[in-house]
Structure 1
């Protein structure tokens, strides 16, 4: 049967700002001991039959260019010929080959009119996104609504109506030992359900995302499950499947899901604005541990170790050594608590911080400034991911070096061809010194009419000139 194709642009700018109303699960949770059901077959079929309709398969494709230089020398090596006994076709020296790479993932329908949440890594840097619904052979071409790399979440949209939207549970009410089910498209085999329990909560410092508050589960999460649903025994969404810890690539019983409350917040902001804007506190923080606890009346919180100049924290009078105990109504028991909570706030939003200094609890209220480090670098220089220098980056370079840090270089892009490398610091464009993303954007606009642009980078202790064409 021939599939109908609905062609839509992948361009995020084509999606207008919108509102979204989430379907909420009942929040009055009752737990039951299954051992009281003696003599009956325990089954969760009725609990998951509806949510299965909300989990979709996502396939993506992108074209990459592979450099074939040097392969002919390898194939024609006399020792290679001796073992294989025949000649290989000659590759043009210094040539390249274009190749289309496809990958699979999962997504969860969050509104009846076609909004779908998935992982950012499922749809990042692809040329096309296709969506297949359960029990439907129609293939929908999706458009990107918005993505947030820092939480590894993204929202896409297909043109369809009357879809089965998932019901959101309050992930803050999850408990270790709760039964959960992972739904998705593992290994491309189609819709699949695995079961397990919540193994741990509030897992952070895993090194996957900047903002981490993972649900850990032993329900099997395999390649292709990314972006799928983690649901409780009622079939309500508690998390978005994201990653596994594995040396082999298969499931070893440690999987991670992004809590539904975080997913709902990010999805709402992406649908409404197409991007995530975060307030910026401007502090470096750590946990209160070991001997350091003896110096404080409170035994948990987020310990401020440095305050950036010109930041919201400096303006509010916060100092190194202050122990943050509460942010608005959120109790802060760790550095991760504070980082994740600040990540939910937008610029110009008011915040009240309660903290301990010299054994005394104090309170300060102020307005968060914009996170200049989260300003989009997309489109500034083709193929580059950029961010402003933060405290950690500045610790590795001389104090007199200012600029913008290169955090990613896309293969085959103009930036790649010009010789940019991850870790470069853009310190100048033509005769202008660069100190921030905002300034880089302004200077590049002034030079966009030129056939090439001279860009100075700081690399391995010296300044180097790159020419961008």
Structure 2
């Protein structure tokens, strides 16, 4: 018994020392054999009402290729593939960031293709959610719910995070219901993982599993530091390597979605890579981290600001740049038109350059992201000075759903449900809250026609 008391005393002392940085409200003394034991219960009780479970349902269009011998037997009218709609359901998590307006942040992949989104609150209430907007490249989506008595999580400044900070992950793993795990920040600025197109992840060893996507990663003050997104695991289970989208990226992207209905991505207009020790030596700097500029695009934001090939970007708005991937992700989540200050090393000397970001090129996109009936078509903006201004079908797969709907290559979409369309951005806006039936106004040569999508 004395040995047991001694072990408990040592454990209590170790935990007290390790968690001495906890704010007062996060440490709940629990008496164990006369020793006060710290607890995360108070901060967990504070934030868990703001983390929700998400259930989505919808239909996915699948294409099953038909063997060549069958197509030969039935002749040229036989389609290349059989198109089917298959119902699906998926589970995930979300975080309430504005209780008054009912805004909920989650991952794009959680609600991708959903026809119906249901949110379950911690108190058991179930409400329907409306999708406000999403960004596939950064894997962020913004929903809205209507309910009384909601609780929100305040967003922290993720630039102030340090490796070794404590972190708490909250979500709905495997549909079990709300679950809390804890760990530390294992690394910052993770990129090049090929998880998403734009990557600047927080890495944590707090257990994250399937269903945690869209859930909260919070600090010991109960502030949101990230949205849990992905794990690295051979069998889809937790091995202590999880990734979250930083709260500053979440803030920038959600503000753009609320303002414009979409993300208007900023772009520098450079190509480059990581700063290596050989490059640093060749260009006369002792810096070991940064983004090396290989090429500057003509008339880009970087070109206008005076950035040159061979420059080494080491700071963004006063904060150190660890890699080219981190710089790209941070710039991409800032809105077009924002002005940033870059710390640039040129000829071995550091200088500051002010750059006003231009909007990323939205000249082409896969039509299936707008409507499943348009799968197989690629859309692009009409060329400046074209006879007809609108959205052009630049590519079309034969016998695809888009082709079966009646679209043809070089068709120009000039209207949706009697709303004039001049470019891809306007088409996205018109189709964002699509009705059950969409009437596309098409210019085909000199003819005008309507195609109805259901």
Normalised to the residue count of structure 1, the TM-score between the two structures is 0.69
Distance apart, 1:439 and its partner CA = 9.3
Distance apart, 1:233 and its partner CA = 2.7
Q: Which residue of 2 aligns with 1:219?
A: 206
Compared with structure 1, are the counterparts of its residues 260 and 315 closer, same or farther at alpha carbon in structure 2 (3 Å cutoff)?
Answer: closer
Q: 1:62 aligns with which of 46, 55, 58?
A: 58
* Matches for 1:456-467 after TM superposition, within 5 Å: none
Distance apart, 1:97 and its partner CA = 5.1
* CA-based RMSD: 4.0
User: Does the 8 Å CA contact 1:65/1:412 hold for their aligned counterparts?
Assistant: no
* Matches for 1:16-95 after TM superposition, within 5 Å: 31-32=21-22, 39-66=35-62
Aligned counterparts of 1:366 and 1:40: Cα–Cα separation in 2: 54
User: Does the 8 Å CA contact 1:181/1:231 hold for their aligned counterparts?
Assistant: yes
**Cα deviation digits, residues 11-49 of structure 1 (max 9, x gap):** xxxxxxxxxxxxxxxxxx981599x99922332111101
The more displaced of 245-254 and 305-314 is: 305-314
Distance apart, 1:316 and its partner CA = 3.1
* Matches for 1:389-468 after TM superposition, within 5 Å: 413-414=401-402, 429=410, 446-447=443-444
Distance apart, 1:268 and its partner CA = 2.3
Q: Which residue of 2 aligns with 1:382?
A: 374
Distance apart, 1:272 and its partner CA = 2.7
Structure 2 SS opposite 1:429: coil
Q: Which residue of 1 aligns with 2:13?
A: none
Compared with structure 1, are the counterparts of its residues 322 and 254 closer, same or farther at alpha carbon in structure 2 (3 Å cutoff)?
Answer: same
Aligned counterparts of 1:236 and 1:62: Cα–Cα separation in 2: 33
The more displaced of 124-133 and 324-333 is: 324-333
1:287 matched to 2:283? The reply is no
* Matches for 1:29-178 after TM superposition, within 5 Å: 31-32=21-22, 39-66=35-62, 98-113=85-100, 114-136=102-124, 138-178=125-165
Structure 2: gaps spanning 5 or more residues: 1-18, 70-80, 382-391, 413-421, 428-440
Structure 1 SS opposite 2:110: helix
Compared with structure 1, are the counterparts of its residues 366 and 167 closer, same or farther at alpha carbon in structure 2 (3 Å cutoff)?
Answer: closer
Compared with structure 1, are the counterparts of its residues 323 and 387 closer, same or farther at alpha carbon in structure 2 (3 Å cutoff)?
Answer: farther
Distance apart, 1:286 and its partner CA = 1.1
**Cα deviation digits, residues 407-465 of structure 1 (max 9, x gap):** x99x9741698999xxxxxxx7279xxxxx959999x9643965699xxxxxxxxxxxx
User: Does the 8 Å CA contact 2:294/2:310 hold for their aligned counterparts?
Assistant: yes
Q: Which residue of 1 aligns with 2:432?
A: none
User: Does the 8 Å CA contact 1:196/1:219 hold for their aligned counterparts?
Assistant: yes
Compared with structure 1, are the counterparts of its residues 164 and 69 closer, same or farther at alpha carbon in structure 2 (3 Å cutoff)?
Answer: same
Compared with structure 1, are the counterparts of its residues 363 and 184 closer, same or farther at alpha carbon in structure 2 (3 Å cutoff)?
Answer: closer
Q: 1:267 aligns with which of 251, 254, 262?
A: 254
Aligned counterparts of 1:121 and 1:415: Cα–Cα separation in 2: 27
1:345 matched to 2:334? The reply is yes
Q: 1:252 aligns with which of 239, 255, 264?
A: 239
1:305 matched to 2:294? The reply is yes
Distance apart, 1:253 and its partner CA = 1.3
Question: What count of residue pairs does the alignment treat as equivalent?
Answer: 375
Higher relative contact order (CA 8 A, sep 6+): 1
Q: Which residue of 2 aligns with 1:457?
A: none
User: Does the 8 Å CA contact 1:66/1:98 hold for their aligned counterparts?
Assistant: yes
User: Does the 8 Å CA contact 2:199/2:326 hold for their aligned counterparts?
Assistant: no
